[in-house]
Amino acid sequence: MVKYILKRLGLLLLTLFLIVTLTFFMMQVMPGTPFSNPKLTPDQLEILKHAYGLDKPLWQQYFIYVGHMFTGNFGTSFIYTNQPVITMIAQRLPVSMQLGTQALILGTVLGALMGKASARRKNGLLDGIFGFLSVLGISVPSFVIGTLILLYLGFNLNLFPISGWGTFSQTIMPTIALSFAPMAVVTRFVRSEMIESLSSDYILLARAKGLSEKEVVNKHALRNSLIPMLTLIGPMAAGLLTGSVLIEKIFSIPGIGAQFVDSIPAKDFPVIMATTIVYAVILMVFILVTDILTAIVDPRVRL
Residues that bind other proteins (CB under 8 A): 30-32, 35-44, 47-48, 50-52, 76, 79-84, 87-88, 91-92, 150, 154-155, 158, 161-166, 249-252, 254, 258-259, 265, 267
d(CA 238, CA 287): 8
23 vs 83 by CB, closer to other proteins: 83
CA distance 253 to 251: 6
CB of 277 to other proteins, least distance (A): 19
**Is the backbone of residue 53 left (phi > 0), alpha (psi -120 to 50) or beta?**
left
Of the pair 39, 214, the CB lying nearest other proteins is at 39
CB 133 within 8 A of CB 184: yes
Residue among 248 and 291 whose Cβ is closer to other proteins: 248
The phi and psi torsions of 248 (rounded to 5 degrees) equal: -65, -35
Q: Residue 60 Cβ, how far from other proteins at the closest point, in Å?
A: 19
Least distance (Å) between residue 81 CB and other proteins: 4
Tell me the C-alpha distance between 166 and 170, whole Å. 7
Neighbouring residues of 296: CB distance < 8 A, sequence distance ≥ 6: none
Distance in Å, CB of 88 to other proteins, minimum:
6
Question: Which is closer to other proteins, CB of 51 or CB of 125?
Answer: 51
Half-sphere exposure (CA, 13 Å, Cβ side) for 181? Answer: 21
Query: Closest separation between CB of residue 150 and other proteins, Å?
Result: 7
Query: Which one-letter amino acid corresponds to residue 303?
Result: L
CB of 53 to other proteins, least distance (A): 10
The CA distance from 98 to 167, in Å, is: 12
Minimal distance in Å, beta carbon 57 to other proteins?
Answer: 20
Kindly list the distances between the CA atom of residue 97 and the CA atoms of 26, 55, 241, 255, in Å, as whole numbers in the listed order: 28, 37, 4, 8
Q: Which is nearer to other proteins, 15 or 61 (CB)?
A: 61
Nearer to other proteins (CB atom), residue 9 or residue 30: 30
Tell me the closest approach of the beta carbon of residue 147 to other proteins, in angstroms: 9
Kindly tell me which of 42 and 299 has the beta carbon lying closer to other proteins.
42
Cβ closest to other proteins, residue 128 vs residue 166:
166
Q: Are 176 and 106 in contact (CB under 8 A)?
A: yes
- Helices assigned H by DSSP within 121-254: 125-139, 142-149, 168-198, 201-208, 213-215, 223-241, 245-250
CA atoms of 293 and 231, how far apart (whole Å): 9
